Chain A
Amino acid sequence: MLMNFDKLGAWRWILSGICALMALFLLLPILFIVALSFGNSRWLIFPPPGWTLKWYGELFADPRWLQAAFTSAKIAAIVMVLSVAIGLLASLALVRGRFRGRAVLRGFFLTPMVLPVVIIAVALYAAFLRLGLNGTLVGFVIAHLIVALPFAIITISGALETFDPSIEDAAILCGASPWEARFRVTLPAISHGLFSAAIFSFLISWDEVVLAIFMASPTLQTLPVKVWTTLRQDLTPVIAAASTLLVLLTVVLMIAAALIRKGKSR
């Protein structure tokens, strides 16, 4: 009865109402920011006295925004590749390995995920100063890799656990070498896990603020850093314009992902 929507009676409307309110709550800031980006009030007065495209003009006139977006994309792409590769190896070790302390190791691998990013950021910043890695691409990649890796490991080992290794054995029986079996049988079978791990890793790096604030330099800053400094220093509606484009990008990616999924299921 409680698990059957049609038999809920009046409760059905209460549940639907809560759901609708929550959806509205989640949508409100997103729609708002889109509206704000077209408002002509410099001081974020809403509803604005009039509408304008000038914030988009300013956004594209300032090469630093585009540069920052490009830097973000580059770092996120490298992080994505490394995170999936290292995460895959680590997951194979955790799921298939036979050694003492696997559970401990698994817990350890996931700690960067639970540890407050602030702590990692401050600690890495001090360490990178000694190594001269602050403000470099390598520094950014390492910092983001640390926080992206746990998500990759969770996703990939989750996929590996549901994959029966005896299929791999079958391939070996049929004459494949163990590594060939891994590459040609296991990898395709867990490709959805790898794919999710890649997306997670990319987005974590793309959206990451706290580490990036500490790693950034004048010549190398990511989009969130640019947004952050603008928020702190200028608070201009250009931020709303940039955010709107980010929302748009998210929507496009989600639709693409949905289409891919649809295409696959057919």
Chain B
Amino acid sequence: MQMKSLLAVAFVAMAASAANAQQMVFTSWGGTTQDAQTEFWAAPFTEKSGTAVLQDGPTDYGKIKAMVEAGAVAWDVVDTEFDWALQAGKAGLLEPLDFGVIDKAKLDPRFVSDYAVGSFYYSFVIGFNPANFSGEAQPQTMADLFDTAKFPGKRTFYKWSAPGVIEAALLADGVPANQLYPLDLDRAFKKLDTIKSSIIWWEGGAQSQQLLASGEAPIGLFWNGRLAALQADGMPVGIELAGQHHRRRRPGRSQGRQEQGGRHGLHRRGDQRQGTGGFRDQDRLCPDQPRLALADGGRSARHPARRADRQPDQRRHGLLGRASR
């Protein structure tokens, strides 16, 4: 009896993967981000094209590599970080996008590569727990993040460096924002060494929120969406957007059309601009400036703290084609 049911299930699973033509798998980072992506990207796409979108996650670069190597690729479109997508494209892990289908004109040219295109923007912002800095001056600049005398306590940074903590260290060390690149890594690490014992690295959005809310690390560099979520939940959180690059660029245009490189030559078309707009509405606090929170000399403007019911993470994100077989 047991054996029989096992075999039956295995057969169904294989049959399902053979029937891939009518569905595709979208993989993202989970949480509220993926909920919003499901609602505003996948659902409208399914409605238009009739192709079901299965959600998987979280994105796992090791899994992608393993799947490609084994020739058993289960993911069609994956939400990744852009820097990873650039490397992975070169490494042959991704399939080239068909720009005969994707309209490049609608994309931010800085985030278009052969293998991935940008889909939304997010910022790293300084967040702090006001309970820990009541009365005193509140942290405002990157330099304050590195000033443990003025703002004592642990500070927290995203554990992956690109981009964020390196830039933050350099800005704190006095490098002007317009001369950041190429990054002076030695100088950045030297600056980081000055607060080495005070750093707690966060690995996921939830952890960063927890560190801040509990006062474990009363100050740090966070995804703006996660801080907004904290505020929306009634946590007193100070968000300092002081001196970021303010470029009036409308995010959320970058989601293009996606061809799935299937054997059947099936082209999946779907202009998702509308859907992306909805995603953006969900994501009210998405600042207008792209990418990283960068200080640009003294130009400080406190961002209006708009609330959102649901706050997706914002991370740079690439859409990638079906991974190579």
Contacts and interface: CB of A to CB of B under 8 A. Distances in A.
Judge A-B direct contact (beta carbons within 8 Å). yes
A42 B57 contact: no
A44 interface: yes
Interface in A134-185: 134-138, 141
Contacts of A99: none
B66 interface: yes
Contacts of B203: 232
Contact of A129 (B6, B10, B56, B70): B70
Contacts of B221: none
A44 B10 contact: no
B2 A233 contact: no
B56 A217 contact: yes
Interface string A202-220: 0000000000000001110
Among A129, A134, A137, A236, find the residue whose CB has the most chain B CB atoms closer than 10 A.
A129
Interface string B9-53: 110011001000000010001110000000000000000000000
Interface residues of A, number: 28
B162 interface: no
Contacts of B209: 43, 235
9 contacts: A43-B214, A132-B14, A132-B17, A134-B72, A137-B6, A217-B56, A232-B58, A232-B204, A232-B206
A74 to B, nearest CB: 10
B55 interface: yes
Contacts of A137: 6, 9-10, 13
Contact of A233 (B9, B25, B204): B204
Given A43-B213, A132-B72, A217-B56, 7 more contacts: A43-B230, A44-B213, A132-B14, A138-B10, A231-B206, A233-B31, A233-B205
Contacts, number: 78
A205 to B, nearest CB: 14
B194 interface: no
A58 interface: no
B66 A229 contact: no
A100 interface: no
Contacts of A234: 30-31, 206
B305 interface: no
A266 interface: no
B274 interface: no
Given A82-B2, A138-B10, A218-B55, A232 B207 contact: yes
Which 3 residue pairs are nearest across A and B when measured between Cβ atoms? A129-B70, A235-B206, A218-B56
Nearest to B229: A42
A45 B213 CA distance: 9
A81 B3 CA distance: 11
Nearest to A232: B204
Given A129-B67, A233-B29, A44 B210 contact: yes
A125 interface: yes
A173 to B, nearest CB: 35
B54 A218 contact: yes
B324 to A, nearest CB: 15
Contacts of A233: 29-31, 58, 204-206
Contacts of B69: 129
Interface in B118-143: none
Among A42, A78, A82, find the residue whose CB has the most chain B CB atoms closer than 10 A.
A42
Given A129-B66, A129-B69, A135 B206 contact: no
Interface in A33-54: 42-45
A166 B205 CA distance: 64
B117 to A, nearest CB: 24
A231 B210 CA distance: 11
Nearest to B32: A234
A82 B1 CA distance: 12
B56 A138 contact: no
A235 B214 contact: no
B6 A141 contact: yes
B266 interface: no
A45 B212 CA distance: 12
A199 to B, nearest CB: 18
A43 B129 CA distance: 13
B83 interface: no
A7 interface: no
Contacts of A187: none
Contacts of B2: 78, 81-82
A132 B66 CA distance: 12
Contacts of A261: none
A264 interface: no
A218 B25 contact: yes
Interface string B66-110: 110110101000000000000000000000000000000000000
A126 interface: yes
